């Protein structure tokens, strides 16, 4: 006998599954709504919130030690229909610390706020663990600590790293007095290599003690979380020192042996300034001003935008002359020139002891008649009387011989009368 279509549906597997689900839902609704009996539910690890810990206690220089580790467990008697709402995140447990004014251990009663959509008349807290919250109040301490930097890497060839710069340069740390006392500084680490220009990066920092050991605690607060670190990179260059030589007194630059101490200095600064700087000239030396050896100290002057890494501001210059002979010659041919019109001048100095210098074979030929001395009176104007004036001394006929030093003569000036 063939089964009807209705019989097939009633005897199919899918039909029995649907019926089973409907029966289960009916039974659940019956238990929850008809026989909604009470059950006990335990809610563990509910975090505790401390009222007044971050403002009132802080104003009193007090702090809750291990504030973030306090939790309680509650056992709740409630209707079965409310059980699913008993979750730790739906409860609010608070402890009022506003009346605490001293350090030490305090046992405090805590308040429990039930989930918002749970009826208090149908819910009863039958168990608390622990019964009280114990808070450890310690002294709150604050202090600024300096920021230190460590560059792992360095500058490219021809460049150098200057002192690292930090913003802020100090970090304000706050927390338990015994912990804060251990903190010595805030360390920042930069990982960069082959730097050829200044960089600025934002970096985190690590608090350490005097032995460079980390000081870590969840109770430490800092006023900043990151530090702006600037790594200044400048070019550096060894720049030689030099002196200008003025030939004179029979001496040429080829006769001068020049020594400069130090011979060079190291400068740092902008690449454009340094690339075009190949020497630093200290000044000039006139070879006619000394006989055979000269030593002088000169200031090393550099551009204000450059830094003298060598840290020496002076250089000593020594000049020794070679291949020359010095001879003393008595000069008697002394003449006044550029005498003011209407005035007469007489030389009172009878002779000058003049030092001449040049190649030995030529110098020995120079005598009294080879020397001419001129007293230039152009600047005297209408001056009358005796006066010491500078004299210009020349060696006539010997180009390789020159005069060493400076000379003066005494002259007498008179105004001419009408008869002269």
The DSSP result for 179-206, as a single string, is HHTT--EEEEEEEEEEE-S-EEEEE--E
- Fold of the domain built from segment(s) 140-231: RNA Polymerase Alpha Subunit; Chain A, domain 2 (2.170.120)
Tell me the backbone φ, ψ of residue 369, rounded to 5 degrees. -80, -10
**What are the structural domain ranges in the chain?**
38-131, 140-231, 238-321, 325-415
pLDDT at 272: 87
Is the distance from CB of 46 to CB of 74 less than 8 angstroms? yes
Query: Quick one: tokens of 342?
Result: 């209407």
Is the distance from CB of 367 to CB of 354 less than 8 angstroms? no
For the chain, what is the total number of helices (H) and then of strands (E)? 6, 31
pLDDT at 16: 67
Is the distance from CB of 100 to CB of 172 less than 8 angstroms? no
**Of 247, 377, 351, 241, nearest in space to 296 by CA:** 241
What is the total residue count of the chain? Answer: 420
Q: What are the Cα distances from residue 328, in Å, to 293, 384, 403?
A: 17, 33, 10
Indicate the class that CATH gives domain 238-321.
Answer: mainly beta
Residues of the chain predicted below pLDDT 50: 1-2
- Fold of the domain built from segment(s) 38-131: RNA Polymerase Alpha Subunit; Chain A, domain 2 (2.170.120)
**Of 132, 227, 121, 217, nearest in space to 170 by CA:** 227
Q: Which residues contact 402 (CB under 8 A, 6 or more apart)?
A: 248, 249, 250, 251, 288, 356, 357, 358, 395
Burial label for 324, CB within 10 Å (0-12, 13-18, 19+), is buried
325-415 has the same fold as 238-321 = yes
* CA pair distance 200, 146, nearest whole angstrom: 19
Can you spell out the DSSP letters for 337-385?
ESPPTTEEEEE----EEEEEEE-HHHHTT--GGGEEEEEE-TTTTT--E
* CA pair distance 327, 363, nearest whole angstrom: 7
Q: How far is CA 172 from the centre of its chain?
A: 20
Q: What are the Cα distances from residue 366, in Å, to 132, 255, 393?
A: 118, 20, 13
Q: What is the mean pLDDT of the chain?
A: 90
- The H or E element spanning position 110 is none
Q: The domain at 325-415 falls in which architecture?
A: Beta Complex (2.170)
pLDDT at 1: 44
Q: How far is CA 345 from the centre of its chain?
A: 70
């Amino acid at each position: 006998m063939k089964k009807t279509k209705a019989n097939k549906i009633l005897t199919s597997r899918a039909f029995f599954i649907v019926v089973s689900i409907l029966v289960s839902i009916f039974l659940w609704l019956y238990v929850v709504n008809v026989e909604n009996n009470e059950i006990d539910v335990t809610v563990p690890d509910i975090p505790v919130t401390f009222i007044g810990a971050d403002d009132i206690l802080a104003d009193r220089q007090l702090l809750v030690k291990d504030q973030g580790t306090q939790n309680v467990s509650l056992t709740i008697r409630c209707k079965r229909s409310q059980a699913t709402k008993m979750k730790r995140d739906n409860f609010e447990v608070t402890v009022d610390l506003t009346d605490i004014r001293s350090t030490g251990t305090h046992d405090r009663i805590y308040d429990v706020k039930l989930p918002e959509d749970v009826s208090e008349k149908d819910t009863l807290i039958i168990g608390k663990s622990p019964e009280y919250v114990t808070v450890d109040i310690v002294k709150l301490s604050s202090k600024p600590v300096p920021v230190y930097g460590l560059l792992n890497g360095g500058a490219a060839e021809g460049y150098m790293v200057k002192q690292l710069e930090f913003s802020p340069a100090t970090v304000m740390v706050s927390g338990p007095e015994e912990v804060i006392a251990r903190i010595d500084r805030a360390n920042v680490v930069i990982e960069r290599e082959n730097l050829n220009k200044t960089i600025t990066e934002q970096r985190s920092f690590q608090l350490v003690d005097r032995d460079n050991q980390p000081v870590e605690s969840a109770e430490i607060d800092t006023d900043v979380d990151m530090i702006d670190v600037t790594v200044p990179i400048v070019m550096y260059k060894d720049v030689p020192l030099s002196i200008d030589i003025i030939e004179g007194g029979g001496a040429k630059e080829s006769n001068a042996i020049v020594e400069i101490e130090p011979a060079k200095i190291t400068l740092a600064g902008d690449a454009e300034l340094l690339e075009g700087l190949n020497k630093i000239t200290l000044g000039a030396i006139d070879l006619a001003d000394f006989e055979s050896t000269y030593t002088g100290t000169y200031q090393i002057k550099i551009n204000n935008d450059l830094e003298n890494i060598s840290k020496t501001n002076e250089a000593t210059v020594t000049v020794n002359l070679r291949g020359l002979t010095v001879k003393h010659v008595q000069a008697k041919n002394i003449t006044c020139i550029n005498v003011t019109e209407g005035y007469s001048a007489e030389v009172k100095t009878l002779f000058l002891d003049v030092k001449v210098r040049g190649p030995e074979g030529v110098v020995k030929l120079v005598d009294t008649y080879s020397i001419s001395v001129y007293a230039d009176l152009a600047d005297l104007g209408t001056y009358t009387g005796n006066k010491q004036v500078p004299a210009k001394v020349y060696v006539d006929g010997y180009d390789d011989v020159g005069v060493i030093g400076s000379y003066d003569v005494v002259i007498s000036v008179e105004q001419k009368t009408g008869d002269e």
